[in-house]
Amino acid sequence: MAIYVIKRLLGIVAILAVMSVLVFAITQVMPGNVANILAGQFADDATIKAIEHKLGLDAPAYVQYWRWAGGVLSGNLGNSIIMERPVGPLIWEAFKSSALLAILAFIMVAVFGILLGVIAAIRQNRFADHAVSLFSYVGVSVPEFFWAIVAIIVFARYLNWLPSGGAGNISQGFWVWASHLVLPVLTLTLTLIAHVSRLTRSSMIETLRSNYVRNARAKGLPEKVIIRRHALRNALLPTITVLAIDVGWLLGNIVVVEAVFSYPGIGRLLLFAIERHDLPLIQAGILLIAAVYCFANLIADLLYAYFNPKIRYGHAES
Amino acid sequence: MIGSAVLLLLIVVAVAAPWIVPYRFDEMSILNRLKPPSLRNWLGTDEFGRDVFSRTLIGARLSLLMGFAATAVSLAIGVPLGLWAGYRRGRVDEIVMRSTDVLLSFPPIMLGLLLLAVTPPSLWKMIVAVGIVYVPSTVRLTRSVTLDLAGEEFVQAARARGERTSYILHAEILPNAWPPIMVEASLRVTFAILLGAALSFIGLGAQPPSSDWGLMIAEARPLIDRAPWVAIAPGIAMGITVIAVNLLGDGLREALDPRMHRKGG
């Protein structure tokens, strides 16, 4: 196990290194030039040249890359060209905001996804089951930005309960701070919950059909105890790995959701950086997101390897 | 069944849209801005007085085109690579698989963002970008199916007859590899529609005055106080389309996946 983990960690480092070259190459062929953006529309060539020289953009590409990589290895992510501030704190602030959103959404998805899945499984082919399937089917079939807009129309405009975007500061009071999080979290939850609830449903149904559950029923245990003590624990094993995979999905969706709600997270920062060709910011943002994504996948694989034999033992196949 | 019926209807509507819509999708009417749904404009009008119903129908074309074309791109690149890697094994396999590792370590939308940031946005570039996003998963699936098939007797027989590699891949392995690839591809179509819409929404896909659904919703966003219908119509249309394609995919999987039959029967 330890060797496997070390191998995977080295793999992640290698992937991130390759990716940094790739991102660098892509930004090299991007049209437009950060010096042009900085200098403004009416700047003459000499001004642009001077800015390029000041930023080191006139050096050959491999020299630029080497400067950047050397900086990163010594813990310096460089300066944002547009905002003229160190990238490290900028990214870290945005990352904390995004992580807050992601963690809240993740908890919601896990709790309600499992709950809905279990209810659907117990009430298989009855009204509650169909209602849950319909809800989750519609949830994944409509893009997250549309849910975001529907949520804004209903809760911010029509009912006027919640702010339609931005982020609150905790110093303005808890409610202001929390109220800015409700709609983005709700939107993220809605688009991701179907994965979890559908998988929980099917594995719960399978577990309820297994021999040991039949055994427990034959012993005369009440259905509640069977579900809580016997079935649920085994049925949830595959769900746990799917939850880890969902972290990756969450990272993708968060970019769009942050854009709709003008939420100051890493996705919006990255969009901002891409629009303005702010290379150090793009590099740091992409690498951070990719790193989180890779770790989430690693954890998913580890959990899967850890739980899989138990799942097999758990099934008393005839 | 329902899925294929709705999808068929959608395709008919999408193909025939230019002839059945009451207005041109880019026909402006300054006196008729942001009108609520009425007999004249069934789903109201947008900020330029353009008919939302017409635009939404025309948008069906773009959306379906995007979904199927992007999937076709991912198949066109991914299937040959997967076949090759799975059959030749060795170094080729290693290089292809490590490349997919790198591409798979981006969240899909990030990869789309990066690919599209390189050039000025357009619908076609977005289709190619979305296609490329789904190449790695196509490669992996094709490779694993090919690995299984390469050990089968009919493939060994072909090799013993001295057939060329290209013949074996094309005539022996590919026909047997199609069913799982098609099932996977049908799921990709909806992912591609949603990803494409998200990219258009961010502004990296279709450009105005196109009536792409993602773009329509993005343009309607500042006006949702006064004219929510402009955003809601394309959103619901997209939901219907994705559900129809998903239902079709589920049906396809049941028809083509032998494991499902065993479970059911």
Q: How far is A191 from chain B (nearest CA, A)?
A: 11
Compute the distance between CA of residue B10 and CA of residue B13 in angstroms, rounded to an integer.
Answer: 5
Q: Are B133 and B196 in contact (CB under 8 A)?
A: no
Write out pLDDT tens, residues B20-48: 888 887 788 777 777 888 877 778 888 88
Q: How far is B150 from chain A (nearest CA, A)?
A: 27
- Give the angle subtended at the CA of A259 by the CAs of A89 and B52, to the nearest 5°: 170
Q: Do B119 and A31 touch (CB under 8 A)?
A: yes
Q: Which residue range is the domain that position B132 belongs to? A: 2-13+50-257
Q: Quick check: is B21 in a domain?
A: no
Q: Do A26 and B117 touch (CB under 8 A)?
A: yes
Residue in A106, A296, A93 with CA at minimum distance from that of residue A185: A106
Q: What ipTM score was computed for the predicted complex, to two decimals?
A: 0.78
Question: Which pLDDT belongs to residue A31?
Answer: 62
Q: Quick check: is B124 in a domain?
A: yes
Select the residue from A29, A34, A141 to test the B interface by mutation, using most B Cβ atoms within 10 A.
Answer: A141
Q: Quick check: is B26 in a domain?
A: no
Question: Which pLDDT belongs to residue B150?
Answer: 87
Q: Do A255 and B118 touch (CB under 8 A)?
A: no
Q: Quick check: is B191 in a domain?
A: yes
| Partner residue opposite B106 with nearest CB, options A137, A143, A290 | A290
Question: Which pLDDT belongs to residue A32?
Answer: 62
Q: Within the 260-279 window of chain A, which residues sit less than 8 Å (CB to CB) from chain B?
A: 260, 270-271, 274
Q: Quick check: is B130 in a domain?
A: yes
Select the residue from B95, B100, B202, B240 to test the A interface by mutation, using most A Cβ atoms within 10 A.
Answer: B202
Instruction: Compare all CA atoms of chain B with the CA of A254 and give the residue at the minimum distance.
Output: B109
Q: Where are the domains of chain A?
A: 2-73, 96-275
Residue A179: Cβ-neighbour burial (10 angstroms; 0-12, 13-18, 19+): middle
Question: Which pLDDT belongs to residue A107?
Answer: 92
Compute the distance between CA of residue A247 and CA of residue A103 in angstroms, rounded to an integer.
Answer: 9
Instruction: Compare all CA atoms of chain B with the CA of A258 and give the residue at the minimum distance.
Output: B202
Q: Do A293 and B107 touch (CB under 8 A)?
A: yes
Q: Mean pLDDT across the stretch B166-176?
A: 88
Sequence-distant (≥ 6) Cβ neighbours of residue B18 within 8 angstroms:
B58
User: Which residues, given as ranges, of chain A have pLDDT below 70?
Assistant: 1, 30-34, 41, 304-305, 307-318
Q: Quick check: is B194 in a domain?
A: yes
Instruction: Give φ, ψ of B45 to 5 degrees.
Output: -130, 160
Instruction: Compare all CA atoms of chain A with the CA of B189 and give the residue at the minimum distance.
Output: A141
Contacts of B198 in chain A (CB under 8 A): 143-145, 256
Q: Is the pLDDT of residue B259 over 70?
A: no
Instruction: Compare all CA atoms of chain B with the CA of A28 and give the residue at the minimum distance.
Output: B118
Neighbouring CB atoms inside 10 A of B132's CB total: 18
Q: Quick check: is B204 in a domain?
A: yes
Compute the distance between CA of residue A27 and CA of residue A39 in angstroms, rounded to an integer.
Answer: 19
Question: Which pLDDT belongs to residue B263?
Answer: 41
Q: Do B224 and A255 touch (CB under 8 A)?
A: no
The region that residue A280 occupies, defined by phi over 0 for left and psi between -120 and 50 for alpha, beta otherwise, is: alpha
Q: Residue B207: helix, strand or coil by DSSP?
A: coil
Q: Residue B51: helix, strand or coil by DSSP?
A: strand
Contacts of B114 in chain A (CB under 8 A): 23, 26, 274, 286
Buried b or exposed e, range A125-150, using 16+ CB within 10 angstroms: eeeebeebbeebbebbbbbbbbbbbb
Q: Are A102 and A108 in contact (CB under 8 A)?
A: no
Compute the distance between CA of residue B36 and CA of residue B165 in angstroms, rounded to an integer.
Answer: 63
Residue in A105, A316, A117 with CA at minimum distance from that of residue A232: A117
Q: How many domains are there within chain B? A: 1
- Interface check for A153 against chain B (CB to CB < 8 A): the answer is yes
CATH number at residue B94: 1.10.3720.10
CA of A314: how far to CAs of A111, A231, A233, A307, B194, in Å?
A: 23, 10, 10, 10, 38
Compute the distance between CA of residue B70 and CA of residue B132 in angstroms, rounded to an integer.
Answer: 8
| Partner residue opposite A286 with nearest CB, options B110, B194, B202 | B110
pLDDT-derived band of residue B258, with 50, 70 and 90 as boundaries? low
Prior bond to B209 cis, omega within 30? yes
Q: Quick check: is B25 in a domain?
A: no
Question: Which pLDDT belongs to residue A294?
Answer: 84
Contacts of A270 in chain B (CB under 8 A): 110, 113
Q: Are A257 and A145 in contact (CB under 8 A)?
A: yes
Pick the CATH number of A96-275 from 1.10.3720.10, 1.10.8.50, 3.40.50.300, 2.40.50.100: 1.10.3720.10
Question: Which pLDDT belongs to residue B138?
Answer: 92
Average per-residue pLDDT for chain A: 81
Helix (H) or strand (E) holding B166: helix B165-167
Contacts of B217 in chain A (CB under 8 A): 145-146, 149
Question: Which pLDDT belongs to residue A256?
Answer: 87
- Interface check for A13 against chain B (CB to CB < 8 A): the answer is no
Q: Do B110 and A153 touch (CB under 8 A)?
A: no
Residue in B242, B238, B247, B185 with CA at minimum distance from that of residue B216: B238
Q: Are B13 and B244 in contact (CB under 8 A)?
A: no
Sequence-distant (≥ 6) Cβ neighbours of residue B1 within 8 angstroms:
B251
